[in-house]
A and B are shown apart, each in its own frame.
Chain A
């Protein structure tokens, strides 16, 4: 049986009371801790926080929030999505995660990303011109640090270390689980395979199946580099409400607003209604009823041969009750249904079930990729 994992992600988007009163950053942070507790009770596998340094989001220090969540939960895994290692000090990052490792009894996970937002670079005194070099060098150091052993390092952007032990030490044989977040860069996929990191692809726009070439590249790279094939996953925005029309309207109000705000900074045009509806119908948004969202998640996980799905909830803020409803529906209805669909499509010892979803019967082959080769083929972005 394949192991699947389902998570929730948030950037700590400033939320709203049900009467429309905005929550401030402090209130939003406490709300996120409450939401994590609910996610834990609902047996959701993972709760992961993004690091941002801008007005829309309350979370700039995810590990501190995760430390609080660790004390309020018992089983859910606690992650980042993502830690912008390039503009951080890998030694300090180790210290924070090793601390979290202790407080969360090993439930932590770090997800490294180059960061599609770049506010952290000027804030911490880094030059964006070094964007690539910073990521490459700090990744290399992180890969030594995460095992908790003594470290020797020499680099252009990191401190020279000569056989130095960083504290707190990890229990013998333990390390900090590390995943690499990938946008659309082929080199990022190759880097993940080189370091033996599982991959989560941010699929925030367009038909998710257009990412099939990157999955194929990952698989090919594991053969080329003689590395194990680790779980692949995706991260995507969603709103799950019993009333599909209402889910769409919440999305149109909040997801669009957030995309447009970010677009202003990046020079993107505002999202049109037509594009928004395309994202729900055929694209990357998981907005609708539990049944619709479950079917879509399962379909795309199968098409991309993925074992992990992280739903970004509360995008653009949203009312507290809608955030909670999404979490509740995701935990109680969507995840169980997706697991059911995926299990139904697994190869059986006996004859395959007749009702197995059509293109689900042949996971991992290139068939899915070539079939929808209407030159399928972002984001950020």
Chain B
């Protein structure tokens, strides 16, 4: 069976880290950013040897699964037709240092990946790889040899659940399906699940208590109840 081509859009902290994990797991891995290939290639060759540096256009053209490892505020500038028909894993988070002091992209009633799905309407979007810090990703792959760390995901497309599950597993994590994409809000900054790098039982426990947190209470206040 041929493995899907993974295309990582964004070559910063998260993008290069995911590229290393993807290469290590044996996937054909493409990486691209706004930088010209000539400026990025030698950097990628050092930071993620084995990943192929391409233009963003070539990346979306060739990849079967695209991972968005770019600032949230750059997502509206993406051309939806480039991503049509692709599985898109949205790892972006609202982050004030990058996106500015006010989150103008998403809200407690429409999570950031729901917005991404709305913008990339012809794509199969899942929220994944967003809740664990880039600095923890590689640690977590090896830290619990007997109990892998949970990597939660959410999507509205049942057809892509097997592919997402397989990729998360291959990269070294225990996939945890939260259900439809709206539940991805529970993984966003401010949530007790955000930043969580723990095996599945501990993650599930935090998930069970999420509405006891200030973030959970804000969700209830904003939406008139828990996410249904």
Q: Do A and B bind each other?
A: yes
Contact between chains at B20 and A375 (CB < 8 Å): yes
Q: How far is the CA of A47 from the CA of B138 in the complex (A)?
A: 32
A269 part of interface (Cβ distance < 8 Å): yes
Check A131 against B97 for contact (C-beta < 8 Å). Answer: yes
Q: Smallest distance from the beta carbon of A317 to chain B beta carbons, Å?
A: 23
Give bound CA distance, A323 to B192, whole Å. 32
Binds B, one of A121-129, A143-151, A292-300, A347-355: A121-129
Q: Does B216 contact A (CB under 8 A)?
A: no
Residues 184-199 of A at the B interface (beta carbon under 8 Å): 184-187, 190
Q: Does A20 count as interface, using CB distance less than 8 angstroms?
A: no
B13-A210 in contact (CB<8A): no
Instruction: Give chain A interface residues in 271-285, CB to chain B under 8 Å.
Output: 272, 275, 278, 283
User: A206 at interface (Cβ–Cβ under 8 A)?
Assistant: yes
Contact call A220/B46, Cβ cutoff below 8 A: yes
How would residues 169 to 203 of chain B score, 1 for a CB under 8 Å from any chain A CB and 0 otherwise?
00010000000000000000111111111100010
Q: Is B138's CB under 8 angstroms from A206's CB?
A: yes
C-alpha gap A220/B17 in the complex (Å): 18
Chain A residues with a Cβ closer than 8 Å to the other chain, count:
43
Q: Does B1 contact A (CB under 8 A)?
A: no
Select the stretch in B119-127, B128-136, B160-168, B218-226 that faces chain A.
Answer: B128-136
A377 to B42, CA, bound (A): 18
Q: Which of A213, A263, A275, A373 contacts B47 (CB 8 A)?
A: A213
Q: Which of B60-68, B83-91, B139-147 is found at the contact surface with chain A?
A: B139-147
Q: Is the CB of B46 within 8 A of A184?
A: no
Contact residues in B for A380 (Cβ distance below 8 Å): 135
Is B12 a contact of A185 with CB atoms below 8 Å? yes
- Indicate whether A118 reaches chain B with its CB closer than 8 angstroms: yes
Residues of B within 8 A of A206 (CB): 135-136, 138-139
Determine if B135 and A375 form an interchain contact, defined as CB atoms under 8 angstroms apart. no
A88 sits at the interface (CB 8 A): no
Kindly state whether residue B137 has any CB partner on chain A within 8 Å: yes
Contacts of B99 in A (CB 8 A): 129
A118 neighbours in B (Cβ, 8 Å): 96-97
The residue from A183, A217, A269, A378 contacting B192, defined by CB atoms under 8 A apart: A269
Task: Flag if A378 contacts B134 (CB, 8 Å).
Answer: yes
Once A184-B134, A185-B13, A269-B192 are accepted as A-B contacts, the answer to whether A217 and B43 lie under 8 Å apart by CB is: yes
Quick check: B191 and A267 within 8 Å, CB to CB? yes
Point out the residues of chain A lying under 8 angstroms from B72, CB to CB.
none
Secondary structure of the B contact surface, majority rule: helix
- How big is the B interface, by class? 35 or more
Interface residues of A in 72-98 (CB under 8 A from B): none
B78 touches A (CB below 8 Å): no
Residues 106-132 (chain A) with a chain B CB within 8 angstroms: 114, 118, 121-122, 127-129, 131-132
A297 to chain B, nearest CB (A): 20
* B206 at interface, CB cutoff 8 A: yes
Docked pose: A217 CA to B195 CA in angstroms: 27
* A282 nearest CB neighbor, chain B only: B143
Complex CA–CA separation, A377 to B23 (angstroms): 13
B138 touches A267 (CB 8 A): no
What mask results when residues 244 to 282 of chain A are scored 1 for a CB within 8 Å of chain B, else 0? 000000000000000000010011110010010010000
The answer to whether B137 touches A129 (Cβ under 8 A) is: no
Give the nearest-CB partner of B39 in chain A.
A190
Q: Are A186 and B97 in contact (CB under 8 A)?
A: no
Residues of B contacting A214 with CB < 8 Å? 47
Complex Cα gap A196–B154 (Å): 45
Chain A residues whose CB sits within 8 angstroms of the CB of B98 once the complex forms: 131-132
Residue B46 contacts which of A187, A205, A217, A268 (CB distance < 8 angstroms)? A217
- Residue A224 CB within 8 A of the other chain: yes
22 interchain pairs, CB-CB under 8 A = A118-B97, A122-B101, A127-B101, A128-B97, A128-B101, A129-B100, A132-B98, A185-B13, A186-B16, A205-B135, A206-B138, A206-B139, A216-B46, A220-B46, A267-B191, A268-B194, A269-B194, A269-B195, A269-B198, A375-B20, A375-B141, A378-B13
Q: Which residues of B contact A (CB under 8 A)?
A: 11-13, 16-17, 20-21, 24, 42-43, 46-48, 96-101, 133-139, 141-143, 172, 189-198, 202, 206
8 further A-B contacts with Cβ under 8 Å, apart from A269-B192, A377-B17, A377-B138, are: A187-B12, A213-B16, A213-B47, A267-B194, A375-B20, A378-B133, A379-B133, A381-B135
